[in-house]
Amino acid sequence: MTSAIYLEKGRDKSLRRKHPWIFSRGISKVEGTPELGETVDVLTKDGRWLAKAAYSPNSQIRARVWSFENVEIDKSFFVKRIQDAQLLREDIIKRDGLTGYRLIAAESDGLPGITIDKYQDYLVCQLLSAGAEYNKSLLVEALIECFPNCHVYERSDVAVRKKEGLKETVGVLHGSTPPESVVIEENGVKISVDIVNGHKTGFYLDQRDSRLQAMKYVQDKEVLNCFSYTGGFGLYALKGGAKRVINADVSQPALDTAKYNAQINEFDISKKRAVFLNADVFKLLREYRDQGTKFDVVIMDPPKFVSSKNNLTSGANGYKDINMLAMQILKPGGILLTYSCSGLMGADLFQKVIADAALDAGRSVKFVERFEQAADHLTDSAYPEGFYLKGFACKVL
């Protein structure tokens, strides 16, 4: 018999709005002894059925909803979710000429804790919830049914798995180990992805639309691409006719791939049109400022600075610091393209941080455009947390 959880009185509101999380404090009773990740029925205190969810006894988010309909959580459930996700992306894939895209955006695709990126024939899974782990083999079977020629690889080497009582794990789930370089294409730009050793699932697909939008600001400009990783923004800047692009990152393998990416796109990188600089951005920006080196465009796409509510203030200060420095090294009339992937810092707060940075930099700053995550990283209307990436184009006087 399926185990069940009963909610406290009045704690069914968010579920009725189809939000998929059930917090531990909202539960009045657990019936049965569900295992880590097992599927349970969710009922109101007085026994009315609400949803099927995955039970996660170690997490504050005690259960995550698989379905608001009373269906079996079996292979065909996963097949349907994957088919729906693919359907939602078909036009974007065609429009942007994608051979790499986010197939499953977790909660927003009705699969809590499951992220799947597709790079050519390689499906790369990141399983972050107990329910995802519990149903791993069904999920893989469903992926094989939907994409019979694909290989499935797991990159669940993510610390948040601890909160769900899970260990980090990586490896082949089906087919063979991905080669060191799988070349994908987006908007006519080729990008080499190292699925096994790269960050996250290998590449930051979420910045694709912002990279494309950045192109219109760079023609004949001197561009500094901070936190370049494998070149993303820098490649689009070269395509957009930048006079010169300096890509700065602390990861040498990422910079080596960035250079390789410039080569496979056959961009002219002679005469130092593209520079790949191994440097700590915090120090580099101060050096440029102290030397009086100036740029027309600065791109600022740092790693996530806010990982929990507890470090929101220090994270916000980190964003303020680097954006202040970026403003100080811009020529009058220059452009700052700045982003934050910290989901816990909303767009309003990020805008305030930029305003504070402007005051500290002593520069007049005008917002001219807003950005968000790429279209394949869609957000379900019931799950506003899905919006995590935001950015601004700012003119700096």
For position 120 contacting ligand SAH by CB under 6 A, the verdict is no
Residues 215, 188: Cα–Cα separation, whole Å: 13
Q: Which is nearer to ligand SAH, 322 or 365 (CB)?
A: 322
For position 205 contacting ligand SAH by CB under 6 A, the verdict is no
Q: Which is nearer to ligand SAH, 128 or 281 (CB)?
A: 281
Q: Which is nearer to ligand SAH, 140 or 329 (CB)?
A: 329
Give the range of 11-19, 90-98, 224-232, 384-392 binding ligand SAH by CB under 6 A.
224-232
* Shortest CB 236 distance to ligand SAH, Å: 9
DSSP state of 189: E
β-partners of residue 190 are 185
Give the range of 9-17, 22-30, 248-256, 343-351 binding ligand SAH by CB under 6 A.
248-256
The DSSP code sequence of 215-266 is GGG-TT-EEEEES-TTSHHHHHHHHTT-SEEEEEES-HHHHHHHHHHHHHTT
* Shortest CB 249 distance to ligand SAH, Å: 4
Check if the beta carbon of residue 357 is closer than 8 Å to that of residue 325.
no
Query: 94-101 — which CB contacts under 8 Å span 24+ positions?
Result: 96/186, 96/187, 96/208, 96/212, 97/185, 97/186, 97/187, 97/188, 98/184, 98/185, 98/186, 98/376, 99/184, 99/185, 99/186, 100/184, 100/185, 100/186, 100/191, 100/193, 100/203, 100/205, 101/205, 101/376
For position 194 contacting ligand SAH by CB under 6 A, the verdict is no
Of positions 119, 227, 267, 319, contacts ligand SAH by CB under 6 A: 227
Residues 392, 339: Cα–Cα separation, whole Å: 7
> Per the structure block, which two tokens stand in for 329?
């090294």
* Shortest CB 229 distance to ligand SAH, Å: 3
Check if the beta carbon of residue 365 is closer than 8 Å to that of residue 354.
yes
Contacts (CB under 6 A) with ligand SAH, residues 269-308: 280-282, 301, 303
For position 77 contacting ligand SAH by CB under 6 A, the verdict is no
For position 254 contacting ligand SAH by CB under 6 A, the verdict is yes
Question: Active-site residue 341, yes or no?
Answer: yes
Of positions 172, 250, 359, 397, contacts ligand SAH by CB under 6 A: 250
* Shortest CB 300 distance to ligand SAH, Å: 9
User: At 295, which helix (H) or strand (E)?
Assistant: strand 295-300
* Shortest CB 29 distance to ligand SAH, Å: 44
For residue 248, which of 208, 204, 283, 206 has the smallest C-alpha distance?
Answer: 283
Q: Which is nearer to ligand SAH, 23 or 282 (CB)?
A: 282
For residue 321, which of 375, 281, 380 has the smallest C-alpha distance?
Answer: 281
For position 247 contacting ligand SAH by CB under 6 A, the verdict is no
Residue nearest to ligand SAH (CB): 232
For position 207 contacting ligand SAH by CB under 6 A, the verdict is yes
Residues 214, 368: Cα–Cα separation, whole Å: 12
Catalytic residues: 341
Binding site for ligand SAH (CB under 6 A): 204, 207, 227-229, 232-233, 248-251, 254, 280-282, 301, 303
